[in-house]
Amino acid sequence: MKMNFLNTKIDNVTMEESLRIIDDFIHDGKYHYVVTPNVDHIVKLEEDNEFKLVYENADLILTDGMPLIWISKLKKKPIKEKVSGSDLFPNICKLAAEKGYKVFLLGAAEGVAKNAASKLMERYKGLKIVGTYSPKYGFEKSVDEIKRIISIVNEAKPDILAVGLGAPKQEKFIYTYENQLKVPVSLAIGAAIDFEAGNMKRSPRWMQKSGLEWFYRLMKEPKRMFKRYIIDDMKIIKILAKY
């Protein structure tokens, strides 16, 4: 299923196929995690060996971002569909509501995950969100805070752990503590918790389809996003030439 793509591998699947795979993961008795690479991830993979290790061990690698779809077509190996974390997450919540799966939200600022949980349970009748937690800034350096997070998640016993802590922090956290968290499926979902809470607004659908979601976020948060989109992500051109 996986195909080589620039400096990583990609599962060339649609949203529908992704949901079926994740559904199967929940029942096979193992621990799995899902990552959704975008241009920023591809650039980071070129320079970050630990991040590369995370990707090498990921169970499902989905394509987040139209620029990667365009690159795949340019390379004559077209990826079927963009499956971003922000689109996957509500679909997962819908699946969980239908199948009775338990979900835990980890990430976003204080109170945001709780707000997102309320809105999601209202939208998807029967959805069980069994816990939310917003770690403190710099939590990854605190042994006590890591233990606390693992303990809270273990106590809730979710089937699905949705982690929105920003890349590459969220992916590294899931990879490092996968066996201690003991969750059938962990998802690295970026800003999806903020989107669902209404704390951050996603770009209009036409911008998402046109590959302009990055431009919308740059306009909304120019100081925070300038370096990522205008400086760092331009390295994709060099990476494309290399591979």
Contacts of 115 (CB under 8 A, 6+ apart): 197, 198, 199
d(C-alpha 62, C-alpha 103), whole Å: 20
DSSP state letters, 132-178? EE-PPTTGGG-HHHHHHHHHHHHHH--SEEEEES-TTHHHHHHHHHH
According to the model, what pLDDT value does residue 16 have?
98
According to the model, what pLDDT value does residue 47 have?
94
Q: What is the pTM of this model?
A: 0.93
The pLDDT of residue 204 is above 90: no
According to the model, what pLDDT value does residue 221 have?
85
In terms of DSSP bridges, do strands 128-133 and 102-107 run parallel, antiparallel, or are they unpaired? parallel
The tens digit of pLDDT for each residue in 98-124 reads: 999 999 999 998 899 999 999 999 999
Mean local confidence (pLDDT), 59-81: 96
According to the model, what pLDDT value does residue 232 have?
83
Mean local confidence (pLDDT), 62-83: 95
The pLDDT of residue 37 is above 80: yes
Return the bridge partners of 173, or none.
Answer: none
Q: What angle do CA 227, 233, 236 make, to 5 degrees?
A: 160
Q: Where are the domains of the chain?
A: 2-203
Structure tokens at 236: 């994709």
> Residue 120 corresponds to which amino acid?
L
The pLDDT of residue 139 is above 80: yes
Domain 2-203: assigned CATH number: 3.40.50
